[in-house]
Structure formats: C-alpha cells, structure tokens
Chains A and B, each alone.
Chain A
Amino acid sequence: MIEMKDVWKTYNNGIKAINGIDIKINKGEFVYIVGPSGAGKSTFMRMMYREEKATSGTIIINGKDVGKLKNKHVPKLRREIGVVFQDFKLLPRLTVYENVAFALEVIEESKANTRKRVMETLSLVNLKNKARFLPDELSGGEQQRVSIARAIVNNPHILLTDEPTGNLDPETAWGIMDLLDQINNRGTTVIMATHNKDIVNTFRKRVIAIDGGLVTRDEARGEYGYEN
C-alpha cells in the first residue's frame, strides 16, 4: 500500500514541484497519473522510490516511511518497486536475457534461480524466442517489454511506469497495456504516468490528475480529461 500525507517538494533551485499531496493507493490497484507536462507527475513517482526526497510530509510504502529510510536501506525499498521509463534504459551491449538477468545479478540472486525467473518473465512478456537478441535488433514495443520484464523479474509489489507508451505507435501501445493489465491481475500494484488519452479512456481505471503540484482530480473509473 502507498500513502502520502501532506507531501511537499521544493527543489534546490526553488522550483515547487509538489505542493501538499494526500493520497492513498491500495495494494493491487491500477492507477493512471495524468496532467500537463511539468505538473509534478515525475517528481511524484520519483519520490516513491527515493530518487527524490520529499521536503516535508510522509510517504509510506508497504509500511515503511520512505523519507526516514536510511540510505543503506534504500536498495531494499527499490527491490520492492519496479520502474519502467519511456526510453527503456536498456544496456545496449547486453542481450535481452542478460538485460533482464542484470536486475537479479546485482541483488546477488543465485544463477539457477536467475535462469528460472528470467525465462518465466520473458515468456510472460512474450519474448522467450528473442532472449539472445541485442536491444538494437528489437522493435520499440519489444524493447519496452524487455524493460518491463527487467522491472518485474524480482517480483516487486509495485510497478511504476513513467510514460511507458510514449515512444510507441498506438497498436504497440495497446500491447503494452495488455501486458501491464496482466501484471496487475497477478496482484502487482501498477502506477502509470501517461499522456495517452485513448488508453486512459479505453482501459478505464482510477485516474489521479496532478496539476501545479496538487491533486486536482481523483476518480475511481476516470477519464483522461485533458485535450491533447
């Protein structure tokens, strides 16, 4: 479960990104974060995995007060949260298999376990037959599926996705949505920041709108609500 209580974030350069957010997201929910560019969506997400620290207020993730977490405990928090980006962030010199396995290697998982988990995850994202390919040899949608596989391979409770369909054509974007839906159905909380009106209005889920660093709307089966 994710809970934010009166969270504020002012960057060192004076920019006020988040100005008092209270929100609760239950385990297993699928939530869209919408809002114009620069509204604070990315900051909102980054604070959850402690890439940014809130200036004031509390953020509680799975019972842990993220702001009070000691630096050495941050890695443990991040193992409970998978993160996916618009630009995939794959390592170009590693194969698909190695890219996904990398996430387990660096948390010192055993080789046998790694192999089993990576193959399972690759078959979930439907890329088992491309395990030996390099990222460059894949389409955009396939690359995004690799990055999703890397984010979920260690079974995190929460999957944060920042514009996962931003670089993809509509048809491929649907495929990614199907995949995120599947992951959500297995019990993973999925939070997705997006600008894609069609997706939000078609796959109806909870919508949280952030504007000017504030929650301006929070609807259970909401619509995108912006013209773009």
Chain B
Amino acid sequence: MKIKTFGRHGKEGFKNLGRNGWMTFASISAVTVTLLLVGVCLALLLNLNAFGDQLESDVEISAFIDLTAKQDQQDELKSRIENIPEVESVTYQSKEEGLDNLIENLGDDGEVFESLKDENPLSDAFLVKTNDPQDVTAVAEQIKQLENVQDVEFAEDTVNRLFKVLEIARNVGLALVVGLLFTAMFLISNTIKLTIVARSHEIEIMKLVGATNWFIRWPFLVEGILIGIFGSIIPIGILIYGYYYLIDLIANRFPTLFIDLLPVTPFVYQLSGLLIVLGVIIGVWGSLTSMRKFLKV
C-alpha cells in the first residue's frame, strides 16, 4: 500500500466515525463497558490463578515421627521418604519449631498456646513436598505404611475443595469474558453496517471502476480499530487507578489480611496492553463481519 493511500484510509476511517456520531458513541460506550467488565474479570481471574498456583506449591504432608524413634531410625525414615519418586523435598521440623509456626500462623489467637511451651503436645515431624500436588494423597498413603511414623496429616479436603472452587470460578469468569466480547463485537459490527449502508452508493461505484476489495475495506477496518482503541481508554484508566488503590488499601488498612495480589508492575500494564489488543481485535472482527455481505464480488 502506498503511503498516500494509507493516509486516505485513515482519514476516511475518522470521517466514518463522525458520519454516525451517535451510533459511534454508543458502540464506543459498549466497548468501554465491556472492556471494563472484562478487565475486572481478568484481574480477578489472573489473581485467582496466581493464588491457586501458590496454593498448589504450598501443599505439604506432615509426617509425625514416633516419640520412641531413635536418631538412626529417624534418618532411615527420612531416606525412605526421599526415595518415593513423587517426593520433591523433605525437611525436618522439631516439635518446638512446629509449635512456634502454629502460634505465628494463628496470630493473636495463638497466644493461648504459649502456655503449652513447657509440655509441647506435638511430635517432631518431616515436612514432605511432592512434585505435583495431585500426588499428595497417594504419597501420604505410602508414608503412612512406613515404620516409625506416628501419624500423617495433610489438608486433603480443604485443598481439594479449594481447587474445585478455583476451577469453577475460572470457568465462569472465562465464559463471562467470552460472552461480553461477543456482545461488543456485535455492537461494533452493527455500527459499521450503518456506515456501509450510508455509503453503499459510493461502494457500488468503487467496485464498478475497479477498486480492490481491500481498498474498499480499509476505511471500515480503521473505523472498527478506532472504536476499539477509544473504547479501551477509560477501562484502562479505571483499572490502573483501581488496582493501585486496592493494593494500597490492603497494605495500609488490612495488613494482616492473608491476600497476596499480583504486584502492580508489570501486572496492570500487561492487563492494559491486553485490553487494547482485545479492543482492536473486536473492532477488526466486528468490521469484517459487517462487510462480508456487502463486498461479495
């Protein structure tokens, strides 16, 4: 394409926006609302995802050691556990450390256990991590069979339930995002159809005198792309501001809240980029679908 032609298409695309001012406004608003919802959904989804990943890597088995086990028996047990193929790491945790961790995790409520420090009810334990959190149950079963193991504990039900909730949330969110994108695309496509109808006379003549289909298409594509870009500006602004605000809020007001959000940079900027790209894609898509019927040669 010649540079002059490129400029022409750009100019025509802008003119098209003005030709149907109110419809343009309506579809930019539709894209704005859509992308805002999509952006919020994506922010939630990606954080949920990160949370899930973190959770998965945190799943541990606590294998409590028999009080009667001597040092060499403990060493043997440790190497046996390490020999299970699915096991990633094994760490020793004395009963004192165990109690300290418990008190720390419980925060203020943990103080009641301070008094227990003299007669610690816990046992020494091995903390076992598996390569894949899915194997936790199987590995725990195997460890249970080993000698000198008093008991095995892992957050089976809680973890499984949490994973299920996360998965449902993910799927629902994804379906919502896809549905919203379709709606926006449909609206853009309708707006552009209006411009095309308004200019059908012109298009007819263009075809008659031998303009290529792409020459005819470009201004409408530009129109769709512009609607997408203009529609993504406000959602991006709101998301960046909102995310900063949220992170700030959690850090200052609820420092004890156990939520690790994805850090602002680069997350918000990646999300913004994604929203612009989505805006452009639904714009292009919308204009292409509206043109298909009109440009049959």
Contact = CB atoms under 8 A, between A and B. Distances in A.
A89 interface: yes
A51 to B, nearest CB: 8
Contact of A76 (B4, B207, B208, B210): B210
A75 B2 CA distance: 18
B297 A107 contact: no
Contacts of A103: 205, 209
Range class of the B interface residue count: 10 to 19
A72 B208 contact: no
Contact of B210 (A71, A89, A107): A107
B67 interface: no
Contacts of B2: 108
Contacts of B213: 71-72, 75
Contact of B205 (A71, A89, A108): A89
B30 to A, nearest CB: 29
B212 interface: yes
Contact of A50 (B4, B205, B297): B297
Give the interface SS of chain B, mostly helix, strand, loop or mixed.
helix
Give the interface SS of chain A, mostly helix, strand, loop or mixed.
helix
B159 interface: no
Contacts of B210: 75-79, 106-107, 154
A102 B205 contact: yes
A91 interface: yes
Nearest to A153: B209
Contacts of B208: 49, 78, 83, 89
A91 B206 CA distance: 11
Interface string A65-80: 0000001101111110
B201 interface: yes
B163 interface: no
Nearest to B215: A106
A79 B2 CA distance: 19
A150 interface: yes
Contacts of A75: 207, 210-213
B82 interface: no
Contact of A150 (B4, B204, B209): B209
B201 A106 contact: no
B206 to A, nearest CB: 5
Interface in B183-233: 201-202, 204-213, 215-216
B120 interface: no
Contacts of B57: none
Given A89-B208, A103-B205, 18 more contacts: A49-B208, A72-B213, A75-B212, A75-B213, A77-B210, A78-B207, A78-B208, A78-B210, A89-B201, A89-B204, A89-B205, A91-B202, A102-B209, A106-B215, A108-B2, A108-B215, A151-B209, A154-B210
5 contacts: A75-B207, A76-B210, A83-B208, A107-B211, A154-B209
Interface of B: 2, 4-5, 8, 201-202, 204-213, 215-216, 297
